[in-house]
């Protein structure tokens, strides 16, 4: 069976962007039954920018609770915390020696996050995509469900796999395919339709957090930036209206409807009518998840047990692949 791997950073609370762009797809791929699915809290990635230790631990457990509450079944999928499977970091070192400085310097996430102050960014932030390639390839995973922002990192993963295979004259690491599907592959900020919804945006009003209560969700949607025009009759009519288009995409993704079906239903409506309907839908879909997350967080020992068990299962796959990699490279075993 083909293997699926994906991860999320425990660098803050989960957003609606993470849920629609990533976790909801993770659940779909798990339930499709056609793949072995491995999902990861990437704590080693999170510390590429400063994380308060107590926050990191809490965010890691809360993220695990978010996965499970959203429908990831730790029996069907392997649910892990990255640092508990040391093979990720071990393979990342090999990939640090395969990847080129120039490749890394072209990554838009690096440029965005390091900004003008690259001299002061961590070395880990620069090497981030090599660790991500290792996360995926340590399992020989071939399918990676992600949001659109991760497309470039997945191309780099293929470049690393191809260069490794070429340099060592082997056909060892597979070419991975990004799986970027659905109506909400890029959920935008509620305050600015040209910016990605992000857990690190300083404005809390820009995002919906998975832990927001019903009133907060409704208020954020009511205040979301829009324009004065009513909704157009077709999706095409949203081309130059990023804020409105974002709300329609969110509606489509939450309701599992196609964008065209949504437009057939809401075309012509004023935002005064559409926003409350979107708020009701968001509360209906998200409240059960946040309720279940809160329940799971009352027993963190159980979460820790699930992650320990996941790490054991993951290492059974990863250790032999790391061992083979070392042999290919010429490390004496």
Q: Which of 24, 199, 220, 285 is catalytic?
A: 199
At 242 the three-state DSSP class reads helix
154 binds ligand AQP (CB under 6 A): no
Buried b (16+ CB within 10 A) or exposed e, 100-131: eeebbeebeebeebbeeeeeeeeeebbbbbbb
Active site residue 196: yes
Tell me if residue 239 is catalytic. no
Of residues 61, 153, 199, 275, which one binds ligand AQP by CB under 6 A? 199
- b or e along 7-42 (b: 16 or more beta carbons within 10 Å of the residue's beta carbon)? bbbbbbbbbbbbbbbbbbbbbbbbeeeebbbbbbbb
> Measured from the CB of residue 251, what is the shortest distance to ligand AQP in angstroms?
15
Residue closest to ligand AQP when measured from CB atoms: 21
Question: Rounded to 5 degrees, what are φ and ψ at 40?
Answer: -135, 140
Sheet holding 78-81, edge to edge: 78-81, 36-41, 3-8, 143-145, 177-179
Is 290 marked as binding a ligand? no
Identify whether 116 is a catalytic site residue: no
Tell which one of 4, 13, 18, 80 touches ligand AQP (CB under 6 A): 18
CB of 147 to ligand AQP, least distance (A): 2
Taking the least distance from each CB to ligand AQP, the nearer of 198 and 325 is 198
Bridge-partner residues for 81, per DSSP? Answer: 41
Helices (H) and strands (E) in the chain, counts: 14, 5
Binding mask 173-192 for ligand AQP (x = CB under 6 A): ------------xxx-----
Binding site as annotated, residues: 9-11, 17-18, 135, 147-149, 187, 196-200
Q: Which residues contact ligand AQP (rule: CB under 6 A)?
A: 8-9, 11-12, 15, 17-18, 21-22, 146-147, 149-150, 185-187, 196-200
What are the catalytic residues?
A: 113, 196, 199
């Amino acid at each position: 069976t083909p293997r699926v791997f994906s991860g999320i950073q425990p660098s803050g609370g989960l957003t609606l962007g993470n849920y629609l762009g990533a976790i909801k797809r993770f659940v779909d791929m798990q339930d499709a039954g056609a793949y072995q699915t491995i999902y990861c809290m990437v704590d080693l990635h999170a510390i590429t920018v400063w994380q308060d230790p107590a926050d990191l631990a809490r965010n890691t457990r809360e993220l695990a609770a978010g996965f499970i509450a959203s429908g990831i079944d730790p029996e069907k999928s392997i649910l892990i915390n990255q640092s508990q499977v040391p093979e990720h970091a071990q393979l990342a070192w090999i990939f640090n020696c395969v990847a080129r400085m120039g490749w890394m310097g072209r990554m838009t996430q690096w440029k965005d996050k390091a900004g003008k102050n690259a001299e002061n960014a961590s070395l880990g932030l620069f090497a981030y995509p090599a660790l991500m390639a290792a996360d995926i390839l340590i399992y020989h995973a071939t399918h990676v469900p992600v949001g659109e922002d991760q497309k470039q990192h997945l191309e780099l993963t293929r470049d690393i796999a191809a260069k490794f295979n070429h340099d060592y004259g082997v056909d060892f690491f597979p070419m991975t395919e990004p799986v970027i599907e659905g109506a909400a592959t890029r959920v935008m900020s509620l305050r600015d339709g040209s910016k990605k919804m992000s857990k690190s945006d300083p404005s809390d009003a820009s995002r919906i957090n998975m832990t927001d209560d019903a009133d907060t969700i409704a208020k954020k949607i009511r205040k979301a930036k829009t324009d004065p025009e009513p909704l157009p009759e077709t999706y095409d009519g949203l081309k130059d209206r990023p804020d409105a288009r974002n709300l329609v995409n969110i509606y489509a993704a939450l309701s599992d409807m196609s964008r065209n079906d949504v437009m057939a239903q809401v075309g012509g409506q004023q935002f005064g009518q559409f926003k409350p309907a979107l708020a009701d839908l968001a509360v209906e879909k998200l409240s059960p998840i946040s309720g279940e997350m809160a329940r799971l967080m009352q027993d963190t020992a159980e979460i820790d047990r699930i992650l320990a068990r996941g790490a054991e299962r993951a290492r059974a796959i990863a250790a032999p692949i790391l061992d083979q990699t070392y042999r290919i490279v010429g490390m004496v075993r």
